[in-house]
Amino acid sequence: MNTPTPKTAPLRIVIVSPVLADANNGNWQTAQRWRSLLAPHKVRIVQQWPDAGAHQHTAQQDQVMLALHARRSAASVAAWAERKPQAALGLAVVLTGTDLYRDIQDDAAAQQSLALASQLVVLQASGPAALPADLQAKTRVIFQSSAALPTVAKPPVQSQLRAVMVGHLRPEKSPQTLFAAARLLQAEPKLFIDHIGEALDPALAQAAQATAAACPNYRWLGAQPHPATRRHIQRAHVLVHTSLMEGGAHVVMEAVLSGTPVLASRIPGNVGMLGDDYAGYFEPGDAEGLAQLLRRCRAVDDDWLAQLSAQCALRAPLFSPEAERAALHQLVHDLAQPSHPNNKNKA
């Protein structure tokens, strides 16, 4: 049963995203989707708050701020608390993987964002456990969502297995794990790996090119438009996700909603989305473990791939747009209420 959307007068909401449309990454996709889901509230997206120039008056009218990323949006969070002390009640900070599992440990700006926020939002169920106990009371989980795509017919795995990894080439995504697994599997002529992601690290781009040259069954496709990426996920037998840290990966959710099971590194961000008992984990950085799982996906006498698909299907309702919409409306409703328990003593 869906939680009813709270009935409130339309609010003026500003979403602070460290990157905008040209980055085509998770932060931007979240900001854009939330703007749509929060209708009929008046929502705008900025890279920094308060706005400069002609938009200064608009910034003064903002009633609620949703700041994506504790460290990278720290200046905007601090400015909101300083310039709109009463509106500091309406401040939520949304924590990414690098926030939860790196920056809040020793970055003073990120830590200040946590302290200033009236509410903290994490994007998967393991997130609260990464926070100090005194902050967990003002933390809520909001799973991200996407439109479900129909499961498409795929060739029998004994004839060929197609795997896809989606992630920009940067250290946090650990593409080296995929490169090493591809080399271990280069003698498997019926196992194909496509890799989608922009070259954000030149050394990793060179490694991807070297892997493609050495392994005919590995292709690095570079950055792709989001609709094309979703089609690749939809048509693959399995999504590979090798990240070392995640706040709640879009691609995992999108695979689940496409009927494509996932092979994922056993990190809190993935476990918080797929569940403790999910069967498709390998240890972070374990290329041999990933290669073994990919081989197992092709086993004719093993229904393991079907088991993974069934487990993913059970998680799919968590990632529905209706569930995310209801959670977001509840969040901004609570932020706009001075009487809410977490909206006290926040000057």
Domain containing residue 255: CATH number: 3.40.50.2000
Check residue 51 and give its pLDDT: 84
In a domain? residue 134: yes
Question: Looking at 142-151, 315-324, 337-346, which range is the least confident one?
Answer: 337-346
User: Which tens digits make up the pLDDT trace of 225-270?
Assistant: 989 999 999 999 999 999 999 888 889 999 999 999 999 999 999 9
**Taking the complete model, does pTM exceed 0.95, yes or no?**
no
Indicate whether 166 belongs to any domain: yes
Would you call 109 exposed, middle or buried from its count of C-beta atoms within 10 A (0-12, 13-18, 19+)?
Answer: middle
pLDDT at 301: 65
Query: 124 and 261, same structural domain?
Result: no
Looking at the fold, whether 290 and 313 belong to one and the same domain comes out as yes
Mean pLDDT over all residues of the chain? 90
273 and 297 both lie in a single domain: yes
Question: Does a structural domain hold residue 227?
Answer: yes
Looking at the 3D structure of the chain, how many domains does it have? Answer: 2
Q: Clarify whether residues 33 and 126 are in a common domain.
A: yes
State which residues form the domain around 288.
161-319
92-112 average pLDDT score: 92
Q: Is the pLDDT of residue 3 over 90?
A: no
**64 strand-pairing partners:** 13
Taking 90 as the threshold, does the pLDDT of residue 195 lie above it? Answer: yes
- Under DSSP, is residue 118 helix (H, G, I), strand (E, B) or coil? coil
User: Would residue 4 count as lying in a domain?
Assistant: no
Q: Are 127 and 141 in contact (CB under 8 A)?
A: yes
Read off the pLDDT band of 1 (50, 70, 90).
Answer: very low
CA distance 74 to 188: 48
Helix axis angle for 287-297 and 175-184, nearest 10°, is 60
- Please tell me the distance from the alpha carbon of residue 236 to that of residue 199, in angstroms, as a whole number: 22
**For 239, phi and psi rounded to 5 degrees?**
-95, 135
Contact 201, 170 (CB under 8 A): yes
Residue 338 domain-assigned? yes
Q: Using CB atoms within 10 A of its CB, is residue 75 exposed (0-12), middle (13-18) or buried (19+)?
A: middle
- Which helix (H) or strand (E) segment holds residue 141: the answer is strand 139-141
